[in-house]
Amino acid sequence: MEIFSSFVDLVEQVLTWFVEKVDGPLWDITTVTLLGVGLFFTITTGLVQLRLLPRSLREMWSGRSAEGNSLTPFQAFTTGLASRVGVGNIGGVATAIAIGGEGAVFWMWITALIGMSSAFAESSLAQLFKVKEPCGLYRGGPAYYITQGLKAPWLGVLFAISLIFTFGFAFNAVQANSIVEATSNAWHWKPEYVGLFLVVMTALIIFGGVKRIGVVSAKLVPMMALFYLIIALIILGMNINAIPMVISRIVSSAFDFSAMAGGMFGAIFSKAMLMGVKRGLFSNEAGMGSAPNSAATADVKHPASQGLIQMLGVFVDTIVVCSCTAIIILLSDNYGSESLKGISLTQNALQYHVGDFGLHFLAFILFLFAYSSIIGNYAYAESNIRFIRNKPLFVLIFRLIVLFFVYFGAVNHANIVWNFADTVMAIMAMINLVAIVLLAPIVWLILKDYQRQVKVGQEPVFKIEDHPELLKRGVDKDIWS
């Protein structure tokens, strides 16, 4: 046990050195790029996130069955939502408010609305360039559309490695760390015991395969979201007269540039704007290249169908769930305290509104949020491990490393865990953003084909015979014939 503890300490030292060298300037550039690419797709798709939002609801509910081992559109949606809805909606929102003030919530909304178009683009590409395994399971994602669409296999491998580190290791460590903080506040559980429990629970799922991940997420995500939204609506109902004032404060504070951000863009962005953008992106992940990995596993008739479904996930994550958390916090009496940040701030807010029940309720619900995120994160990472080397021994070693980082996140300080996640997330996002911009003409082609069929009253079906030029890009003819 002493040897294992020494190894954990060594990993912490290495990660601390890595973060100190690259995190700051890298995230400055990434934030601007993410917003720029989101605006690019918003304009060039004709506000697809607004025009086709009702259609996205229909697409999610219409596809309830899949062939063989492939996932249904709803299961792929909930797997993606499992990774989005989690610590970002609880601890991330609280951190944004604690550092950036009330106005950070407004910029989280803007980031989500803009990012929905990027989510449509990346997930549609993932569907188009997906491949079918001998077992009947679909796989895909940025690593696949970079390799096939851009003919850049080296960049595809680099993206796959960055995603494995981000979701398989760093994000799972963040989720475990957050579970420990919440359960420690509520029940004073020891981190080591919680970490071991999470390792066992994670192992039971990840050794069952991606199909089991989709099944579990399809049941778990709606349940946990419903529980959380019910308690949120109760609190909002109890304070209905104060909500307009809270929203007014959010909007007015968003344009208060008296508190400027630091770093490369400190002279342009306020703290509210920068924190809202960063934590909004951490929560909904639009454009980062994560959700396309689950989007590709769905069995749909048109690539744009799953693009619309994943776009809906961004809306639900930020506009619905994050807003509930933000209003709960801003209606409490102690959200401006410097001693309360992250999950502790949200727990304090719930305790203020509904008593000690809120403290225990959030610890329980956060366990569900974070645990489902671990499941979704693993699904993304496994797809990319198999992209690099689809061998049983290779996958086994990867799974064991995932379990190590779950424990690592549980027993280590929050700063190193979150900073490591921020750094590797930025690397992954930059690679994906470059790729989807270069592949933008294909995104437009997919959207045009989909809208043409909807306009004449047809159920959209993508036929590769109508677009033979895509065969030269590596699209699988058998899947889309």
CA 252 to chain centre: 28
Under the banding of pLDDT at 50, 70 and 90, the label for residue 218 is: low
Whether 193 shows a pLDDT value over 80: the answer reads yes
Q: Are 177 and 195 in contact (CB under 8 A)?
A: no
89: Cβ–Cβ under 8 A, 6 or more apart, which residues? 283, 317, 321, 322, 325, 369
Alpha-carbon torsion angle 262, 267, 268, 274, nearest 10: 10
User: Given 3-state DSSP classes, what are the helix, strand and coil percentages for the chain, each rounded to the nearest 5?
Assistant: 80, 0, 20
Q: Identify the pLDDT of residue 248.
A: 92
Q: Average pLDDT for residues 255-260, to the nearest whole number? A: 64
Q: Concatenate the DSSP letters of all residues of 175-233 into one string.
A: HHHHHHHHHHHHH---HHHHHHHHHHHHHHHHTT-HHHHHHHHHHHHHHHHHHHHHHHH
Query: How far is residue 49's CA from residue 75's CA, in Å, rounded to a whole number?
Result: 21
Q: Identify the pLDDT of residue 335.
A: 67
Whether 265 shows a pLDDT value over 90: the answer reads no
Q: Are 103 and 247 in contact (CB under 8 A)?
A: no
Q: Are 102 and 249 in contact (CB under 8 A)?
A: yes
Q: Which two tokens stand for residue 3?
A: 């040897």
Nearest to 42 by CA among 318, 280, 287, 275: 287
Q: Identify the pLDDT of residue 122.
A: 96
Query: How far is residue 181's CA from residue 157's CA, in Å, rounded to a whole number?
Result: 35
Query: How far is residue 13's CA from residue 9's CA, in Å, rounded to a whole number?
Result: 6
Query: How far is residue 292's CA from residue 35's CA, in Å, rounded to a whole number?
Result: 18
| Residue matched to tokens 């700063």 | 415
Query: How far is residue 369's CA from residue 282's CA, in Å, rounded to a whole number?
Result: 15
Q: Are 162 and 435 in contact (CB under 8 A)?
A: no
Q: Which two tokens stand for residue 27?
A: 């995230």
The predicted-structure confidence for 108-129, as pLDDT tens digits, reads as follows 999 899 999 999 999 999 999 9
Q: What is the CA radius of gyration of the chain?
A: 21
Provide the whole-model pTM: 0.85
Structural domains for the chain: 21-62+71-473 (1.20.1740.10)
CA 15 to chain centre: 22
The predicted-structure confidence for 142-167, as pLDDT tens digits, reads as follows 999 999 999 999 999 999 999 999 99
Percent of the chain with pLDDT over 90: 32
Q: Are 8 and 413 in contact (CB under 8 A)?
A: no
Query: How far is residue 263's CA from residue 354's CA, in Å, rounded to a whole number?
Result: 40
Q: In the 8-state DSSP scheme, what is residue 260?
A: B
Nearest to 222 by CA among 75, 63, 354, 343: 75
Mean pLDDT of the chain: 84
Query: How far is residue 17's CA from residue 465's CA, in Å, rounded to a whole number?
Result: 52
Whether 85 shows a pLDDT value over 80: the answer reads no
Percent of the chain with pLDDT over 70: 87
CA 280 to chain centre: 10
138 membership: H or E segment, kind and range:
strand 138-139
Residue 255, classed as helix, strand or coil, is: coil
Q: For residue 58, what are the CA distances in angstroms to 223, 226, 373, 380, 430? A: 21, 20, 25, 25, 32
The predicted-structure confidence for 334-368, as pLDDT tens digits, reads as follows 666 666 667 888 888 888 898 888 888 888 888 87
Nearest to 288 by CA among 121, 457, 175, 411: 121
Indicate the burial class of 478 (C-beta count within 10 angstroms; 0-12, 13-18, 19 or more): exposed
